[in-house]
Amino acid sequence: MLKLGFNEATCKENSSVEKDLEFCEKYGYDYIELRLDMLKEYFKTHTIEDLKAFFAKSHLKPFAFNSIEDINFRTPEQWEKLVELFTFGCEVAQAIGNKYMIVVPTMTNEYSTRTEQEVLEDSVEVLNKLADIAEPYGVCCSFEPIGDRRWCCNSLRQALEIVQAVNRDSVGLTVDCINFYMHDKCADVDFIRKVPKEKLFVYHINDCEDLPFGVLDHCHRIMPGKGCIPVAEISKAVMDAGYDGPACLELFRPEYWDMDAEEVIKMGVECCAPFLK
C-alpha cells in the first residue's frame, strides 16, 4: 500500500509553504515534497527552526525537494548557479530530515538531439558530481526522466541505464505518471516492474487530458482518475516493483491554481485514494 504525498507544484501559484503544510496536515497527507523556490520565499519570514518545529509536532513529514532542473550540458556559469541551489537544498534537507532531491535533465531543442550515448556520459558525470555533494548531507538524488522529446532523457529505460551506470546507493529514479505516458502512451507498463526496488526512490501520481503529442503539455495534468493515463496500472506496477513510499500528487494545472488551495488539497485526497492500495 502506498502512502499519500503532496508536491507543492500542485498549488504553487495560489498557496505558500505555510498554507501547504497546514492543509496537508489537516487532510491527512503523510508526506510533502517542498519546492526550492517556495522554500526561499518561506525563509524570508521564517527560520529553519520554524520548519523543524512544524515537522516535530506533525504527522506530515518531508520527503523530497523539487527540483534541480536542466542538469545536463551546463556551462561553468550555469553549473555554478546549479550547485549553489543544490547545496542550499542539501543544507535544508539535512536539517529537517528530507531524504531526496529530485534532479531533472535538460530541455532545449539543441540538447534533445544529442545521442543517447552523449546523454548517458554527461548524466553519469553530473550525477556523480551531485552525489559527491549530497552524500555528506545524507541526501539522495532522484533522477526524473521527462517524457516529452524536448528533454534529453525522456524514457524510464534510458534513465534506468544512466542510474545503473552511476552505480551509487544514493542515486535512483523518480517515476511520474504523465512523464511515463508522454514517452509512448504507457506502451510497456510492465517495464516499471523491472526497476530494482532499491533504485525506485519517488513516485509522482497524476493524470492528463486526452490530447495528441505535440499539444499535450504539463499544464494539462489533472487529478488522478480524471484523464486518460492508466494510473491504476502504473500504481500497481510501482507497488509490484517493491515501492511502498508516498504517491506524491504533482500537478501544474492553471485551473487548480485559480481555485482555493485548501479545496485543491482536499480534492487530492479523494482522487488519490483509489490508487494507493
CA distance 77 to 155: 28
pLDDT tens-digit map of 220-265: 999 999 999 999 999 999 999 999 999 999 999 999 999 999 999 9
259 burial type by CB count under 10 A (0-12 exposed, 13-18 middle, 19+ buried):
middle
* C-beta atoms surrounding 85 within 10 Å: 16
| Range from 85-89, 112-116, 123-127, 216-220 carrying the lowest mean pLDDT | 112-116
Instruction: Output the CA–CA distances (angstroms, integers) from residue 209 to 2, 116, 229, 230, 275, in the order listed.
Output: 24, 29, 8, 12, 18
Position 235 scores a pLDDT of 98
Instruction: Output the CA–CA distances (angstroms, integers) from residue 52 to 16, 32, 55, 120, in the order listed.
Output: 17, 14, 5, 37
CA distance 94 to 78: 24
pLDDT tens-digit map of 167-224: 999 999 999 999 999 999 999 999 999 999 999 999 999 999 999 999 999 999 999 9
Give the pLDDT mean for 118-133: 97
Give the pLDDT mean for 40-46: 98
Position 108 scores a pLDDT of 77
Position 29 scores a pLDDT of 98
As its CATH architecture, domain 3-275 has Alpha-Beta Barrel (3.20)
Question: Would you say residue 81 has pLDDT above 70?
Answer: yes
Average pLDDT, the chain: 97
What are phi and psi for residue 276, nearest 5 degrees? Answer: -95, -5
Enumerate the domain spans of the chain: 3-275
Grid cell at residue 3: 502512502
% of the chain residues with pLDDT over 70: 99
Position 59 scores a pLDDT of 98
In terms of Cα–Cα distance, which of 167, 174, 119, 170 is closest to 141? 170
Those residues whose C-beta lies under 8 Å from the C-beta of residue 72, and which sit 6 or more positions away, are 105, 106, 111, 119, 122, 123, 126, 152, 153
Question: Would you say residue 113 has pLDDT above 80?
Answer: no
In terms of Cα–Cα distance, which of 236, 235, 93, 107 is closest to 170? 93
144 burial type by CB count under 10 A (0-12 exposed, 13-18 middle, 19+ buried):
buried
pLDDT band, very low/low/confident/very high, at 82 (cuts 50, 70, 90): very high
CA distance 174 to 45: 31
Instruction: Output the CA–CA distances (angstroms, integers) from residue 122 to 84, 96, 127, in the order listed.
Output: 20, 31, 9
pLDDT tens-digit map of 266-275: 999 999 999 9
Is the distance from CB of 70 to CB of 44 less than 8 angstroms? Answer: no
Is the distance from CB of 203 to CB of 248 less than 8 angstroms? Answer: yes
Position 109 scores a pLDDT of 75
pLDDT band, very low/low/confident/very high, at 54 (cuts 50, 70, 90): very high
Question: Would you say residue 112 has pLDDT above 90?
Answer: no
Sole residue written with cell 510533502: 32
Position 110 scores a pLDDT of 72
Position 111 scores a pLDDT of 63
Position 178 scores a pLDDT of 98
pTM exceeding 0.95? yes
